[in-house]
């Protein structure tokens, strides 16, 4: 069976097709509509291509679900949180023009500097995980003041930390970078507090942070956010990398 739903996003009306029929989904998708597959666990031969989102019942599809599906289809950024001074939202390809190439940035930071690589990040990271590094925007000026968010913890970088990680199939860590002109204004803490509240309900109750022991401002920020030191590297040369953990419970 096939159902049609409508939702208004930023003043525009979008139609969404919900169906358990592959042909209906393909037809709606070809017409440019967002689609949701309705999964029947009793059918072993069911095909729901090209639906990127699947639900087991119509009751599972609320307005928030519809909005997320449409935003992903239309390339509209999802707003993660809003504080008194900041909005944390998904990046858009055009944001790369406002991200400074600051000294000390690693390879992961450079993917945000080019439109094509940022497009790939948006499609693959947000599209698959529904979380990632997000844009931090000043509410008053509309300027991009940094980036912060939740990313997968690369344990291959510090094998020693494996024993300290709790049973967690996909451990995640907090990442943050406030651009140099906007530091020492409390933006980092304000953004990270909002992100942790969001992550606790939408991503994981346990968040990690890896920090170079020499980076005292980051250590101080993590501790002020409620992170506690649970491990540090011992092999190799100093400086050591420290592993911090935050748990909402």
- Same domain, residue pair 48 and 135: no
| 133 and 223 housed in the same domain | yes
Give the Cα separation of 85 and 136 in Å (integer): 10
89 and 171 share a domain?
A: yes
Higher-scoring residue by pLDDT: 14, 156: 14
Closest CA to 234 of 243, 225, 221: 243
pLDDT of residue 168: 67
Over residues 12-19, the mean pLDDT reads 97
Query: Which of these three, 26, 59, 74, is where a domain ends?
Result: 74
Q: How many domains does the chain have?
A: 2
For residues 132 and 203, the answer to whether their CB atoms sit within 8 Å is no
Residue that the structure tokens 């949180």 belong to: 81
pLDDT of 238 reads 66
- Answer yes or no: do 104 and 212 share one domain: yes
Tell me the CA distances in angstroms from 239 to 211, 215, 227, 231, 242, one per residue in order.
10, 10, 20, 14, 10
Q: Share the mean pLDDT of the chain.
A: 91
Q: What is the mean pLDDT of residues 173-195?
A: 95
pLDDT digits (tens, 9 = 90+) for 76-87: 999 999 999 999
Domain that holds residue 42: 2-74
- Cα separation of 95 and 93, whole Å? 5
- CATH number of the domain at 199, please: 3.40.630.30
Q: Is the pLDDT of residue 156 over 80?
A: no
Same domain, 85 and 44: no
Q: Are residues 84 and 169 in the same domain?
A: yes
Last residue of one domain, picked from the residues 44, 74, 104 = 74
pTM of the model: 0.89
pLDDT in tens, 106-137: 667 788 999 999 999 999 999 999 999 999 99
Q: Give the model's pLDDT for residue 207.
A: 95
Mean predicted confidence (pLDDT) in 154-165: 72
- pLDDT value at residue 220: 95
Which pLDDT score, from 0 to 100, does residue 107 have?
62
What pLDDT does residue 102 have? 82
Percent pLDDT > 70 in the chain is 93
Same domain, 70 and 154: no
Whether the bond between 239 and the residue before it is cis, its omega within 30 degrees of 0, is: yes
């Amino acid at each position: 069976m096939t159902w049609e739903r409508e939702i208004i996003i930023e003043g525009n009306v979008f139609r969404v097709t919900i169906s358990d029929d592959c042909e209906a989904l393909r037809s709606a998708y070809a017409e440019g509509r967002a689609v949701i597959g309705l999964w029947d666990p009793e059918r072993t031969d069911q095909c729901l291509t090209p639906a990127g989102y699947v639900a087991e019942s119509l009751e599972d599809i609320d307005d928030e679900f519809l909005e997320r599906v449409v935003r992903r289809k239309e390339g509209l950024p999802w707003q993660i949180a809003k504080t008194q001074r900041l909005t944390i939202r998904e990046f858009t390809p055009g944001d790369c023009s406002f991200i400074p190439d600051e000294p000390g940035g690693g390879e992961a930071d450079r993917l945000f500097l080019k439109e094509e690589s940022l497009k790939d990040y948006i499609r693959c990271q947000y599209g698959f995980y529904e979380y990632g590094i997000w844009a931090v925007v000043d509410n008053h000026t509309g300027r991009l003041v940094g980036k912060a968010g939740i990313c997968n913890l690369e344990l291959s970088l510090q094998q020693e930390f494996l024993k300290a990680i709790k049973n967690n199939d996909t451990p995640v860590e907090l990442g943050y970078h406030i651009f140099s002109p906007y530091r020492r204004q409390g933006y980092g803490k304000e953004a990270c507090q909002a992100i942790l509240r969001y992550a606790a309900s939408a991503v994981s109750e346990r968040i990690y942070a890896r920090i170079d022991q020499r980076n005292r401002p980051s250590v101080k920020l993590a501790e002020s956010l409620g992170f506690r030191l649970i491990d540090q590297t011992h092999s190799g040369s100093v400086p050591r990398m420290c592993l911090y953990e935050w748990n909402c419970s």
